[in-house]
C-alpha cells in the first residue's frame, strides 16, 4: 500500500521536477523543487483530488516542506468520517 509521502511524491512530480533523493520530509517545495505559486496551487488541487479533502486557502501555509504537507494531509484525512 502506498504511503502518504509516496502518493504526495507522485502529485508533486506531476507538477515539478523531482528526483528520488530530493523528496524527503525536510525538502521545501519552493527551495528544493523551485515550485512557483501556480505550481503550489496545482499541487494543492492534486492533493484535494488524490486524498478527497478540501484545502482551504488559509491552509496553504502548510505547503512549505514535504514533511509539513504529509502531516497536514494525514491530519485532514484522519478527520474524514469513516
The interaxial angle of helices 66-78 and 4-13, nearest 10 deg, is 120
Nearer CB in complex with another protein: 60/77: 60
Q: Supply the minimum distance, in Å, between the C-beta of residue 30 and another protein.
A: 4
Say whether 59 is catalytic. no
Site for another protein, rule CB under 8 A:
28, 30-31, 35-38, 40-42, 44-45, 55-58, 60-61, 63-64
Task: Choose the catalytic residue: 19, 20, 36, 49.
Answer: 36
Q: How many angstroms separate the CA atoms of 47 and 74, rounded?
A: 11
Residues 6 or more apart from 34 whose CB is under 8 A from it? 16
Please give the positions annotated as active site: 36
Amino acid at each position: 500500500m502506498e504511503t502518504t509521502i509516496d502518493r504526495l511524491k507522485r502529485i508533486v512530480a506531476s507538477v515539478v521536477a523531482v528526483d528520488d533523493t530530493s523528496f524527503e520530509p525536510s525538502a521545501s517545495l519552493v527551495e528544493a523543487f523551485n515550485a512557483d505559486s501556480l505550481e503550489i496551487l496545482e499541487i494543492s488541487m492534486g492533493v484535494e483530488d488524490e486524498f478527497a479533502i478540501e484545502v482551504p486557502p488559509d491552509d496553504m501555509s502548510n505547503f512549505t516542506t514535504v514533511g509539513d504537507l504529509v502531516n497536514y494531509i494525514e491530519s485532514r484525512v484522519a478527520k474524514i468520517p469513516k
